[in-house]
Every structure is written in C-alpha cells, then in structure tokens.
Chain A
Amino acid sequence: MLALHEVRKVFGGLAAVNGVSFAVAEDEIKALIGPNGAGKTTVFNLITGVLPLTAGRITSGERRLDGRPPHAVAGCGIARTFQNLQVFAHMSVLENVMVGCHRQGRRGMVAAALRTPGLLAEEQKLQAAAMGALEFVGLADRAPEEASNLPFGRQRLLELARALAARPRLVLLDEPAAGLNTHETDQLGELLRKVRASGIALLLVDHDMELVMDISDEVVVLDRGEVIAQGPPRQVQREARVLAAYLGED
C-alpha cells in the first residue's frame, strides 16, 4: 500500500531522515515510534508531499509518490491528521468534513456560481458522504456546529472524519491520542480498529505506548532519523537498541 525506500531528508547539513525503509500493507495498522526529534513528523511530511525528498523513493503500489504536490498525494488515496490540529475553525463541522470530500467533486467555479442542477446533485452527494464519515466517528449530531466550539477531543475526531471522508486507502495519524484522557484514548483505539476493519490501512505516530502496543500489527522504531527496529510490538519492545534509544545508554 505504501512503501518507503531508503528515504533521506537533509536540512542544511543535518540528516533528519537517513535511509528509512519500511512498508505498510493494506489492512495493516503500523506504528512509527521513537524519541522526540527522531524524525517521525518529517517522515509524514515527506510522504504527504509537504517536504521534498533529498534521496530515496516513496511508492504506493506501482505509483511513485515522491515529487508530487500534496493534493496529488491525497489523490493517490492518502489522508492525514495533524499533531497540532488543523481544523477549519470558522466552518461548521459538516463543512470541515465536506472539504475532505473535495476530490469527489468535479464541478468548478462556473457551475458553483450558477448553481446548476449538476452542482446541486453533487452537493447532495458530498453532504451524504460527509455525514457518513461523521456517523462513523460518532459526531453526526454535532454537524451544524462551528468546529472551533467543539471540545478538544471531539476536534481530533473531526480531523479523523475529515480524513476518512476522502475515502483513503491509508490514513496517516500524527499523535491522535495527544491530549486525550484514558477513556478517550480507549475509544480512539476502538475507532481505529473499526477503521482498519473497513479496509483502510493506518500509519500512526504516537507517544502513548499502551495504545501503540495495543492496536498495532507492527511497529517501526526510529531514532535520529534511522530505523533501528521493526516488527510486532512485543518483539520490538524487548530489543536492546530500542530501550537504549528511549532510556539512554548506560
């Protein structure tokens, strides 16, 4: 579904990401973990086309992803949520998710200005798709509210709904559990399992080890821009290098 091949990213002499290779299969939940500054968010930015690669390749099936602008990467079925919440504050919850459906619409400026029947039909379709995503995450009853009025935990769900509305095949989740209490984190875990069950792969970055170990099929450990371990959660947990990276050398 997604594969990174020897991906490198250099910022002014410092290699933030240095020869990272891993893959995410369909229907898989993979976690990317590592101490702060390990390069996890950089990897996300490279995958989504926000940052250009210095070297390496990123592919999805047969297609190359690197070098494409972010909206084209989204068009290849990759959606994303943000660590620091990029909710469209003054739009309603429903409208936020409808932006997620953007690529499912075709009508442009002219049809919009004239409100053609074709446009109206399309709006119905987009609205239905957006409501579907909201129902999936349990926010359907908040649809007409202004997004910034939602409590923090709900805004995280909103971002997820927006990502799901794009009908992706892979969702990148950047610290989805940050700022959630235990109860909310459990609910998140359930929800993510539900997402995977619907046929969408997940790649998540998070510091909540319980969540990560609980729901991931595989874990990739990053330290200082390099992959130091890959495998099922329990196995990776026991590896010496991983412990050293997190706890420091003795």
Chain B
Amino acid sequence: MGARARYGFVVAAVLVAVLPLLLSNGYYQSVLVFIGINAIVALGLNLLMGYAGQISLGHAAFHAMGAYASGILTATYHVNPWLAMACSVVFASAVALVVGVPTLKLSGHYLAIATLGVGMIVSIVLVQWVSLTGGTSGLTDIPTLSVAGFPLNSDLRYYYLVWGVCLLLTLLSINLVNSRFGRALRAIHVSEVAAATCGVNVARLKLQVFVLSAAYAGLAGSLYAHYVHFISPERRFGFPFSIEAVVMVVLGGLGNIWGSLLGSGTVTALGEFLRQFGDYDVAAFGLILMLAMIFLPQGISGGLARITLRRRPAPTPAAPPQEVAHR
C-alpha cells in the first residue's frame, strides 16, 4: 500500500473516531451509522463495477438476504447473533455464486437487466413468502448485538462497530486492488480478451468479485437488521436501494475506494437532507442524480482529483519529435 493510501487511511480512522464526539446529537449519529452501513455496500459494489467493470442493478437483493437471514435466524430461531451474521454472509455469497454463473456470461445492458431481474424476484419473494419473512408486516424483535456481554444498544456504540467494520473492509479492499487479483480485475475491465491471453481466468474472477461484493452487501444487511431491530420489504430491500447503491458508487467515483465512502456519505446525507422537503424529496433526488451524471463524469472523487491536479506543475513534455508514428 502506497504511502499516500496509508496516510489517507490514518486520516480516515482519526476522523471516524472523532466525528461522533463532535456530532453528539443522536440523530446525526444515527445518520452516520447508516452512512457506514451503506459504505460497506458501496465498497463491495465498487469492486464489481469500478474495478471489474461489471454492472449490478440488483444488489439490494444481497443486502436483503443478509438482513433477513440474520433477522430470521435470531428473531425466529434465537440463534446467536454473531453466528447468524456469519451465516447470512455465507448465504448471500452462496446465492450470488448460483446467480452469478449464468448472469456473468452477459455483459452491458443484458447484465444490467439480468441483475435487475434477480433483484425484483427477491423483493417479490420477500413480500409474498409471508410465513418466512412476515411479508409486508416484516420481521420484528431482532435482537441487539453484544460484545462479551456488553450490549451495543446505543447509536454511539453501534457507530463504532459499523465504522470499525467499514474501515477494516476499506483496508482489505485497498489491499485487494493493489494485488495480482486487483490488477487482473482492472485488466478485465479494459479488455477481457487481452486479460485472458495473459492467463487471467476471466469467468472465474468475475464470479469471485461478484460473490465478494454480495458478501459485503449481505454483511451490511445483517448490521442493518441488528441496528433497526425491525425490517420489512420496503424501499431498502428493493429496486430503489439497488439504484441508490449504484448511485453511491458512481457518484463517489468508480474505481476509487475512497469514492465509495464519499459517495455513500453524500447520497445518504442528501437523502436525509431532502427528507425535510416532504414529498419533494423523490423528484429532487432524481434531478440531482441526472445533473450529477452529466456534469460529474468521474464522480465526486474524480472532480476533487481534477481540482487538486490543477494545482500541480505541468507534466514534463512527451517523447522527442522523431518518435512521431505514421501509418
């Protein structure tokens, strides 16, 4: 990991540690918790979309699987919450594995639509399979997480849990991206054929990163369930959240790890901010989304990079003139 990334990580860790003490209002702390949970989803999705260059418009499905698996295991079957969390991550990953094999053979629009279809089917099942999921009434009484008898039942405590996990996953993601695995992913993004001729098993890697991104989303779902103690198949577990997740990644900056955190923060905070305008929030969100896509093609992190780059001295001139190529 380069010195700059290490530096950035330390800054982020300090910020995370200190922020809730500055914003001691319970409401702000809970927003920060949601930002952290969303950031975990965005991190995983960024690996899939920004690095490997695939598309998923159905990631809410894996998020839902994590939440519901945890919820059902703990509320209905009284399994230990940490064990349930592990199980739900495995469950989300397993489903991603099964779904991923046929889906990742597609690309572009077809892949986007296939993932959308998967997401829609899952959200319909959540509503219809009432005996398992509680249908539209949802699942209640999801227990709190405790660490060695110490219950995480305040916003502040949960904040540190979620952000601890988030920072850990950020670190793991940075490591992943700067490794042989990460280089192969980025190569696949540019040219699957060229990557394959270098010996990269393209199909297997795409599947691996797809499953990994589902695992991230599932873990986030589990954390969500144990925070809000009640889950139901509304916006959070359907197409709207799949889109929110994609927006977080794209707005934050595809292919930039920190962008996922930025994007998650922006979108979540924006959502909360717009809520005060009552029913105007949906229309405003859509409009902001369209404008951002048009005017910020590299996302916020790209925009920031452009601003900071402008301050650097001009780069050294290119190779001497006799190397001009002609056809």
Instruction: Answer whether A and B touch in the complex at a CB cut-off of 8 Å.
Output: yes
Interface residues of A (CB under 8 A from B): 48-50, 69-71, 73-75, 79-80, 82, 86-91, 95, 98-100, 102-103, 105, 107-109, 112-115, 119, 122-123, 126, 149, 151-154, 162, 166, 178-181, 183-184
Is the C-beta of B243 less than 8 angstroms from some C-beta in chain A?
no
For window 163-195 of B, CB contacts with A under 8 Å fall at: 172-173, 175-176, 179-184, 186-187, 190-191, 193-195
Say whether, besides A91-B183, A99-B187, A71 and B196 are in contact (CB < 8 Å).
Answer: yes
Q: Is the CB of B212 within 8 A of A90?
A: no
Q: Is the CB of A179 within 8 A of B172?
A: no
Q: How far is the CB of A75 from chain B (nearest CB, A)?
A: 6
The residues of A that contact B203 with a CB separation of less than 8 Å are 69
Q: How far is the CB of A118 from chain B (nearest CB, A)?
A: 12
Q: How far is the CB of A226 from chain B (nearest CB, A)?
A: 26
Q: How far is the CB of B318 from chain A (nearest CB, A)?
A: 7
Closest to A96 in B: B187
Contact of A100 among B181, B198, B319 (CB under 8 A): B198
Q: How far is the CB of B117 from chain A (nearest CB, A)?
A: 27
Is the C-beta of B199 less than 8 angstroms from some C-beta in chain A?
yes
CA–CA, A151 and B182, complex, Å:
26
Q: How far is the CB of B227 from chain A (nearest CB, A)?
A: 25
Interface string of B225-242 (1 = CB under 8 A from A): 000000000000000000
Is the C-beta of B325 less than 8 angstroms from some C-beta in chain A?
yes
The residues of A that contact B202 with a CB separation of less than 8 Å are 70-71
Q: Is the CB of A102 within 8 A of B172?
A: no
Is the C-beta of B279 less than 8 angstroms from some C-beta in chain A?
no
Closest to A172 in B: B197
Q: Is the CB of B180 within 8 A of A102?
A: yes
27 sampled A-B residue pairs with Cβ under 8 A: A69-B201, A70-B193, A71-B202, A73-B197, A74-B197, A75-B199, A86-B193, A88-B186, A88-B187, A90-B190, A91-B190, A99-B198, A99-B200, A102-B183, A102-B199, A102-B200, A109-B208, A112-B176, A112-B181, A112-B182, A113-B172, A113-B176, A126-B180, A154-B323, A179-B325, A179-B327, A184-B323
Q: Is the CB of B186 within 8 A of A112?
A: no
Q: Is the CB of B184 within 8 A of A70?
A: no
Contact of B175 among A80, A95, A114 (CB under 8 A): A114
CA–CA, A209 and B326, complex, Å:
17
Q: Is the CB of B199 within 8 A of A74?
A: yes
Interface of B is mostly: helix
The residues of A that contact B180 with a CB separation of less than 8 Å are 98, 102, 105, 107, 112, 122-123, 126
Q: Is the CB of B182 within 8 A of A103?
A: no
Q: Is the CB of B183 within 8 A of A109?
A: no
Is the C-beta of B308 less than 8 angstroms from some C-beta in chain A?
no
CA–CA, A166 and B190, complex, Å:
19
Interface size for B (C-beta < 8 A) is 36
Interface string of B141-182 (1 = CB under 8 A from A): 000000000000000000000000000000011011001111
Q: Is the CB of A88 within 8 A of B191?
A: yes
CA–CA, A109 and B188, complex, Å:
16
Contact of A82 among B194, B326, B327 (CB under 8 A): B194
Q: How far is the CB of A215 from chain B (nearest CB, A)?
A: 20
Closest to B180 in A: A105
CA–CA, A105 and B1, complex, Å:
19
Q: Is the CB of B319 within 8 A of A166?
A: no
Is the C-beta of B322 less than 8 angstroms from some C-beta in chain A?
yes
Say whether, besides A86-B191, A102-B184, A151-B319, A112 and B179 are in contact (CB < 8 Å).
Answer: yes
Q: How far is the CB of B231 from chain A (nearest CB, A)?
A: 29
Q: How far is the CB of A173 from chain B (nearest CB, A)?
A: 12
Say whether, besides A70-B193, A74-B196, A79-B197, A95 and B325 are in contact (CB < 8 Å).
Answer: no
Contact of B181 among A48, A73, A74, A109 (CB under 8 A): A109
The residues of A that contact B182 with a CB separation of less than 8 Å are 112
The residues of B that contact A105 with a CB separation of less than 8 Å are 180
